[in-house]
Amino acid sequence: MSQAAIEQKQLLVEKATTRFQNAASVVVMDYRGLTVQEVTDLRKQLRDAGISMKVIKNSVLSRAAEAAGLAGMDDVFKGPTAIAFSDEDVIAPAKIIADFAKEAPALEIKGGVIEGKVSSVEEMNALAKLPNREGLLSMLLSVLQAPVRNTALVIKAVAESKEEVA
């Protein structure tokens, strides 16, 4: 192998290592059996959500994961592998891919990384079932507003009962 080819592979490993280290979440999937149109549609959905999807050689991914301190991922880097990196939203990649897999059953999540920790298929599927960031924020806001709302209702009820007495 020529020196230029070795340097090219090292550069690919370094880029992939950086992506693993900077990503909020990573989803590893088997895309075998998807049509070109399905892959294009999936890439578009991911890109619209700010997520990049790449097809990278398993040997490069294995070396990059190891360099990023993500031991135990060699099992997911077998067969045709595509990988989705999200730098901000932890839930979005798993959610988009799981939803897409309902329409295209050939797509299969093989595992991933959630905030720097290697995650199994089951964990990735559980993550996909969570509400998105806006949904979680809405739920939190509702919980925070409940005590204030309940206090306001009690004050209103007391005021109304005093009006009835008077």
Q: Based on the fold, state whether residues 145 and 122 are members of the same structural domain.
A: no
**pLDDT of 10 higher than 70:** yes
Confidence of residue 47 (pLDDT cuts 50, 70, 90): very high
**pLDDT of 162 higher than 80:** no
Q: Based on the fold, state whether residues 15 and 39 are members of the same structural domain.
A: yes
Distance CA 72, CA 108 (A): 19
> What pLDDT sits at residue 30?
93
Q: Based on the fold, state whether residues 110 and 77 are members of the same structural domain.
A: yes
Q: Based on the fold, state whether residues 21 and 60 are members of the same structural domain.
A: yes
Q: Based on the fold, state whether residues 154 and 110 are members of the same structural domain.
A: no
Confidence of residue 120 (pLDDT cuts 50, 70, 90): confident
Evaluate whether 53 touches 97 at the Cβ level (below 8 Å). Answer: no
**Domain containing residue 77:** 3-130
Q: What is the pLDDT of residues 65-115, one digit of tens each?
A: 999 888 888 888 998 899 999 988 888 899 999 999 999 999 999 999 988
Distance CA 90, CA 84 (A): 11
| One-letter identity of residue 139 | M
Distance CA 42, CA 54 (A): 11
Q: Based on the fold, state whether residues 140 and 95 are members of the same structural domain.
A: no
Q: How far is CA 159 from the centre of its chain?
A: 50
Q: Based on the fold, state whether residues 41 and 52 are members of the same structural domain.
A: yes
